[in-house]
Each structure stands twice: as structure tokens, then as C-alpha cells.
């Protein structure tokens, strides 16, 4: 059976919002993007927004954009991680820990200085994401609202 997970990188300037998992039974102590299982009858972008609402208490005003689709194999499980990104606007509410029974810390972290305790796939995405943010911030004529990413990353991690 193939498992499908969705994640969303909430970006504010050069920072990304992360939650530290606690008492979940999987990756406890690791900082992760908001995310979880794709539910029946939803597409990955809808799932990412639902997870954002459930874990962070907000739905961003901007539509999420696909950053990467990563194949994974862990123990006997295999599947796909769909990772979206969304630039928070100043008018968006501040994300918060909407599931304190599953996360013991939430914060924005600089993309180029993430905590040591993150999954390998997130570390692998940090460098390309940092380069894109750097490129975006150097383009004075482009606004965050007008920014369109380059081709999404598609990689296979085992």
C-alpha cells in the first residue's frame, strides 16, 4: 500500500514555520513542517491546507505551490511526500500551536539555519529553498505575491 503524506512550508521572508513533534510515536523530538496523511476525497494541495489549519490554526491567503514530491521507504512503509510552500502575507494571521497535545514547540526558523533535529528530506530541501528565497529577495522588482517558483523538485529518498 502506498501512503501519501502532505506538508506545507509556511514562509515569512527567509524563515520557515516548524513544529516539534511530541508524544506522536513517530519522529518525536524532531522539528517538522505542518503535515500529515492525505484524506480520502481530497487532493494534495487541499490536504496541505487542511493540515495547516489543524496544526497551525490558520489558512494562508495565498494558494500553496508544489515544492517537491518525494518518494520514501521507511521500514515496511512506502509512499509519497507532497511538500507545498506558501508565502505568508502581512495580513495573514500568525500561525500557532493548534495541537499542543502533539507538538511541544513551534517557531519560525531561518531556512539557512534550521535546527539539527529535522528529517533528512527536510534538510535536503533546505538548500534549494534557501537559494530560491535568496533569489526572490534579491529581485527588487518582484513582490512575494508575484513570485512564481521554478520547476518543482522531484526526488527519490530511501
Residue 47 vs residue 74, higher pLDDT: 47
Q: Residue 147: what pLDDT?
A: 38
- Answer whether residue 143 shows pLDDT above 60: no
Q: Residue 129: what pLDDT?
A: 76
Indicate the pTM of the whole model.
0.83
CATH of the domain at 121: 3.90.79.10
Q: Residue 135: what pLDDT?
A: 64
- Number of structural domains (the chain) is 1
Average pLDDT over residues 104-121: 93
Distant-in-sequence, close-in-space partners of 18: CB < 8 Å, separation ≥ 6: 31, 32, 33, 106, 107, 108, 109, 114, 115, 118
Where is mean pLDDT largest: 34-43, 118-127, 149-158? 34-43
Neighbour-count burial for 71-107, b at 16+ CB within 10 Å, e otherwise: ebeeeeeebbbbbbbbbbeeebeebebbeeebbeebe
Q: Which domain holds residue 103?
A: 2-156
pLDDT bin (cut points 50, 70, 90) of residue 56 is very high
Residue 33 vs residue 71, higher pLDDT: 33
Q: Residue 142: what pLDDT?
A: 42
Amino acid at each position: 500500500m502506498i501512503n501519501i503524506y502532505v506538508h506545507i512550508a509556511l514562509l515569512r521572508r527567509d524563515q520557515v514555520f516548524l513544529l516539534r513533534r511530541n508524544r506522536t510515536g513517530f519522529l518525536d523530538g524532531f522539528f517538522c513542517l505542518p503535515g500529515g496523511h492525505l484524506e480520502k476525497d481530497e487532493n494534495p494541495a487541499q490536504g496541505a491546507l487542511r493540515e495547516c489549519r489543524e496544526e497551525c490554526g490558520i489558512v494562508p491567503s495565498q494558494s500553496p505551490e508544489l515544492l517537491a514530491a518525494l518518494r520514501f521507504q521507511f521500514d515496511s512503509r512506502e509512499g509519497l511526500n507532497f511538500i507545498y510552500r506558501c508565502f505568508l502575507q502581512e495580513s495573514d494571521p500568525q500561525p500557532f500551536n493548534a495541537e499542543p497535545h502533539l507538538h511541544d514547540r513551534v517557531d519560525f526558523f531561518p531556512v539557512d539555519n534550521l535546527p539539527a533535529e529535522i528529517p533528512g528530506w527536510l534538510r535536503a530541501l533546505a538548500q534549494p529553498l534557501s537559494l530560491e528565497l535568496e533569489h526572490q529577495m534579491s529581485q527588487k522588482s518582484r513582490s512575494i505575491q508575484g513570485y512564481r517558483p521554478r520547476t518543482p523538485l522531484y526526488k527519490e529518498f530511501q
